[in-house]
Amino acid sequence: MISKSMEQLVKGNSVIRALFEEGKEMAREVGAENVYDFSLGNPSVPAPEAVRTSMKKILDEKNTLYVHGYMSNAGYEEVREAVAKSLNERFGTDFEWPGILMTVGAAGGLNVVLRTLLDPGDEVVCFAPFFGEYTNYVHNYQAQLVVVPPNPPSFQPNLDMLQDRITQRTKAIIINNPNNPTGVVYTAETLDRLERILKEAETRIGHSIYVISDEPYRELVYDGVEVPFITKHIRNCIIGYSFSKSLSLPGERIGYLAVPKAIDDYQGLIEGLAIANRVLGFVNAPSLQQLMIKECLNEKTDVAAYDKNRKFLYKSLTDMGFECVKPEGAFYLFVKSPVEDEKAFVEEAKKQHLLLVPASSFGCPGYVRIAYCVAYDMIERSMPAFKALAEKYFG
Ligand code: PLP
């Protein structure tokens, strides 16, 4: 018999995954070319060719035991060194290799941090709208996710409401920049103000609050927008990074955590993170992927392809009368539902074979998320369906 807590999870299975499955069912009925699936953040741009060539080269040239063997739980030293060097060159930081931990994607990295920081009953704060999986990750360690309400129309974090949410039990705050689901990039001013609030709160509660900065979309930005580098604004931060989106490798499960030396309890943290990687059962990030990443740190995805989708979709939907948040980063368009109950809107969209994600699953009812990391021609083909939807609501 499965546990009570798992029974709950099975019941409330991810809305996004459920939509994805519904899309497959719809495709069987009406043909895949007539289903417009905007549900999942699965990159349509192929991984750079260097990913394949370096993997082949590693398999051909490296010692088999080295490529396929166990290693330090934190990852290969040479890979961690290369990641630290690359960050330092790009952002003028001073990471050292012991502060880099290779992880099983961002999801693995976040779980490793939370396992390291949390005791049962502790609290983690996040800002709505947020990546819905945070709730599950925090519950994994019998802790509570405390959600700060959204801040439309800018969707910068609602800092006015943060202070009241911080209690003696607050151990960490998760931020996600650029943001899924809004596409908003948190500004330097936002991060500086967040730091001031946290300093005050730390004095009040008498212990450190860590900012976990979830950054799988760091390189996916448009119109020359820059993502402020978190360590320049917030001292007690841990960066969670992933190559799932930036190199189109979500199935390979590879990312890293970067811990700056200035953080409170640096040594305790980096030891704890490595052990968490082991005791959670990841043991280490996939070895071949780590070695490939070392060769591909300068590779880039085709941001222009996502930008083309972004511009087309934003303009078309806005022209039709939909109220959209203009995305500056990531590959999601956040759209206000024309009716209060966005789930009803999502059901209407399904009648046109459009799969959109209701944003109540991101803690922000009244909106929907459209993942535009899809093929451009699918967006083009979906236009009559969006038009039919617009007609229903705006006449
Ligand atoms: N964090 C955010 C904000 C995401 O959008 C995602 C995936 O969509 C993840 C974490 C998990 O990414 P990964 O595939 O690296 O585990």
Nearest CA owner, ligand 1 atom 2: 131
Residue 204 CA to ligand 1 centre (angstroms): 33
Query: Residue 367: its pLDDT value, please?
Result: 98
Fold of 49-296: Aspartate Aminotransferase; domain 2 (3.40.640)
Residues in Cβ contact with 31 at an 8 Å cutoff, skipping those fewer than 6 apart? none
Ligand 1 atom with least separation from CA of 179: 3
Query: Residue 77: its pLDDT value, please?
Result: 98
Ligand 1 atom with least separation from CA of 110: 10
CATH of segment(s) 4-47+301-394: 3.90.1150.10
Q: Which string of DSSP letters, residue by residue, matches 18-44?
A: HHHHHHHHHHHHH-GGG-EE-------
C-alpha span between 46 and 63 (Å, rounded):
29
Peptide bond between residue 153 and the one before it cis (omega within 30 degrees of 0):
yes
Query: Residue 21: its pLDDT value, please?
Result: 84
Global pTM reads 0.97
C-alpha span between 238 and 94 (Å, rounded):
14
Could you read off the pLDDT of 167-221 as tens digits, one per residue?
999 999 999 999 999 999 999 999 999 999 999 999 999 999 999 999 999 999 9
Residue 14 CA to ligand 1 centre (angstroms): 14
Tokens 């370096």 map to which residue?
Answer: 54
C-alpha span between 85 and 116 (Å, rounded):
25
Nearest CA owner, ligand 1 atom 7: 41
Query: Residue 342: its pLDDT value, please?
Result: 97
| Domain boundaries along the sequence of the chain | 4-47+301-394, 49-296
Which of 16, 185, 245, 357 has most ligand 1 atoms within 8 Å of CB, for mutation? 245
Ligand 1 atom with least separation from CA of 107: 16
- Ligand 1, CB within 6 Å, residue ranges: 41, 105-107, 131, 176, 180, 214, 216, 242, 244, 250, 255
Query: Residue 10: its pLDDT value, please?
Result: 85
Nearest CA owner, ligand 1 atom 5: 180
Query: Residue 20: its pLDDT value, please?
Result: 79
Query: Residue 16: its pLDDT value, please?
Result: 74
Query: Residue 11: its pLDDT value, please?
Result: 83
Positions of the chain with pLDDT under 50: none
Query: Residue 118: its pLDDT value, please?
Result: 98
